[in-house]
Each structure stands twice: as C-alpha cells, then as structure tokens.
Structure 1
Amino acid sequence: MAEEVQEEKKSSGGGKGMIIALLVIIVLLIVGVAVMTFVLLSGNGENQTAHAEESAQHAPAEHSDEPVVSSEGVVQQYSPKFKQYEPPEPGSPPQYFAMEPFVVNFKGEGQAKFLAVTLKFMSHYPQLITEMESYRPILRNDITSLLRVQTYSVMSKDDGPDILREKILTKARAVLEKRNIYPDLLENVYFERFVMQ
C-alpha cells in the first residue's frame, strides 16, 4: 500500500511539472509574438513615414504652402489659400504703384518738424498694382500713422531711410494679407523723395 501512494505522488507530481512547463512555453510564445508584432509595426510605420516624406518632396508645388520663386526672385506660385493672379512672364519688367506725397509732423526732437516722403511700391504682378488702387485710402492712413511716430535720431542715421522702407513695406504687406492677397507679391518700396525739415 505504501508503494501505491508513492507511485501516485510521483505520477501526480510529474503532471504538475508538465503543466508548468507548458505554461512557460505558452507565455514565451505570447511574449515572442508580441515583440515580433511590435517590431514589424514600428518598422512599417518608419517606412510609411519615409514614404510620406518622399511623396511630399516630389508632390507638385500647387499643393504646397511653400512659394515657388523664379531665378529672378519673383514669386511664381504660392499658397492656394490666397487670391490667385496670373504669374508674370519671365523677364517682364516690374510695375510700380505710386502714392501721393506724404508730409507729416513727426518726432523731430527739436531738429526738424516735418517729414516729407514720396514713394512707389514695386511688384511684377500688374493685376496686383491695379488692385492696390482699391486699398489706397487704407495704405495712406496706415503709412501716415507710421510716419508720425518716427524720430529724428533714427531717421538721420545712414540706414534710417532703409529702416523706414522696411517698416512701410511690412505695413503694406499686412494690409494686403488682411484682404487675402499673398503679401510677398508686393516685392519692395522705394523712396523718390525723403526730406526732414
């Protein structure tokens, strides 16, 4: 009888060991499958990202928000969220939009009382130059306000007029952008006259 009990214990003890071994193998298989799935999915994600970046580089410019600029520095294509104009012919001369002369009281700091400026805006887009006529009163108002706050100490420096030109161009571009016109189509502004008295 004692021999039967020992054999029973041995047979049931062997069964438990077998179950534990099977459980360990199943857990290892599950972990292996999970790791393999993660590696495959993360590697596939990198390939998809690389493919998407490659597609974006080769995508046509009209689907991009980045402007296409010609070798002369003229914007040819730009974001479709702005009003679209026909691109200028290659080599076409720039067009100018002249403003009436500005004469304003400014912060002359005892050296001068008046600032007189005559300027022209430049663009290669004739349609923009024509359309700017509609915004002349707004441009005049904003530029006059800008001129009034200038100081003699800044304007009398060698680069004072250039600093003012940049400020005027920025102000005019902001006016255009508010009206859904791509601001960089307005390329520059030039002084025909700049006098402090």
Structure 2
Amino acid sequence: MATAPKASPKVVPIDESAAAPAKKSKKKLILMVVGALVLTLGGAGGAWFFLGQSKESHADGSAPPPPKVDPGKPPVFIAMEPFTINLQPENGEQYLQVAFTLQVADQAQVDLIKMYMPALRSRILLLLASKKASELSPVDGKKKLQDDIIAQVKQPFTPQGQPQVVSGVFFTSFVIQ
C-alpha cells in the first residue's frame, strides 16, 4: 500500500504589520504622554510646595503680607534709647539691657513715632518686663522678641489711627545679667 505523500500545509504569511503596530504605537504614545503629564504636574506641585510657601504664616495658614517698604528708596532708621528692665524671676534677680534700631517706611513714620515716643517706650517696657532670661537667651528667643517689638510698634497710637509701617528691629546691644 502506497500512500501518497501528505502535503504539508502552506504557510501563508498574514500581513499584521499594518494593524498590530498601529495599536501598539498608540498605546505607547498614550502611556508616554500620560507619564510626561504626571511627571510635569508632580514637579510643579513639588516646586509650589517647597518654594511657594513662606516660612512664616498666620494662624489661619495664610502668608503674612510683605512689609510696605519701597525697595527703590534707601532705608529709614530710628534709633531707640537703651532699655534696662528687670526680667521675670527664675534664678534670682536678672535684668536686661537692650538697645535697638527700628527700620520704618519713611520720614513721616519717624516723625509719628517720635511724637508718640513715651507711649511706645511704655509698650516696649511692658513687653520686655514680661520676659524671662531663658526665653531671651537663645537666638530663636531674640528673633521672637524682634517680632514682638514690631507688633507693639505697629499698633496704632490713636483709636482710629493707622498702624505704623515697621519692617525691622535691629539689636545694637543685648545684655542679660
């Protein structure tokens, strides 16, 4: 019995090059675009978070307004006479002798502060007398004192008055004994 040789099936190449690569390239393109978008948004969000937020903030989370000092004008300073006060007792009697200079917006602010100098000195004396030596000794304590002094100076001198424009307190002498 002789059998006829079986014909091997013919391999017919299917032209998938037109359909399959188009789907793969669209998927790759979409993934690349989405990936680039995610990276861009993530980078922008990170930059906003780390660079956009101020170090200081108010209790409600908003950033404090910048001081109203014109950068084109030279700074205007007013030197305060030294203060010598007794600090709150911790380890016996201690006192603070401090001198500082205020940076204000303009000469009008200097004139206003000079006119109300007794009231301003009283405010600052009460502030200083409420402190303890341990609060004022570290650098952070001195920085907080600067902020507290600015807050006292900014308070209006009259009930309907405008607040003073003060942008800095610079210690020229600071002795705790």
TM-score when normalising by structure 2: 0.57
Answer yes or no: is 1:186 the counterpart of 2:166: yes
AA aligned to 1:196 is: I
Superposed CA RMSD: 2.3
CA-CA distance at 1:155 after TM superposition: 1.0
TM-score normalised to structure 1 length: 0.51
Cα drift, residue 175 of structure 1:
3.7
1:75 and 2:68 are equivalent in the alignment: yes
- C-alpha distance in 1, partners of 2:153/2:97? 18
For 1:127, what is the secondary structure of its paired residue? helix
State the secondary structure of the residue aligned to 1:119: strand
Once the two structures are aligned, what percentage of the paired residues are identical? 27
Aligned partner of residue 116 in structure 2, secondary structure: helix
Q: Does the CA contact (< 8 Å) of 1:97 and 1:120 recur in 2?
A: yes
CA distance in 1, matches of 2:138, 2:93: 14
Partner of 1:104: 85
Which residues in structure 2 correspond to 1:143-162 (within 5 Å)? Answer: 143-162=124-143
Distance 1:173 1:156 in 2: 25
| Distance (whole Å) between structure 1 residues aligned to residue 103 and residue 158 of structure 2 | 16
Count of aligned positions: 113
Aligned partner of 1:181: which letter?
A: Q
In structure 1, stretches of 5+ residues that fail to align are 1-68, 77-87
1:129 equivalenced with 2:110 (yes/no): yes
Tell me the secondary structure at the aligned position of residue 132 of structure 1: helix
Query: Quick check: 1:143–1:168 contact (8 Å CA) kept in 2?
Result: yes
- Offset at residue 124 of structure 1 (A): 2.8
How far the C-alpha of 1:181 sits from its partner, in A, is 2.3
- Quick check: 1:95–1:124 contact (8 Å CA) kept in 2? yes
More helix by percentage: 1
Displacement of 1:113: 1.1
Quote the Cα distance in structure 2 between the aligned partners of 1:175 and 1:194. 27
Residue 114 of structure 1 corresponds to 95
1:159 alignment partner, SS class: helix
| 4+ long deviations beyond 4 Å | 176-179
Q: Deviations over 1:14-72 (max 9, x none)?
A: xxxxxxxxxxxxxxxxxxxxxxxxxxxxxxxxxxxxxxxxxxxxxxxxxxxxxxx9xxx
Q: Residues 112-168 of structure 1: CA distance to partner in whole angstroms, max 9, x if unpaired?
A: 611011011111311111221011000100100110110122112231111111111
Q: Secondary structure at the match of 1:167?
A: helix
Q: Answer yes or no: is the 8 Å Cα contact 2:101–2:172 preserved in 1.
A: yes
The amino acid across from 1:162 in the alignment is K
2:106 corresponds to which letter in structure 1? Y
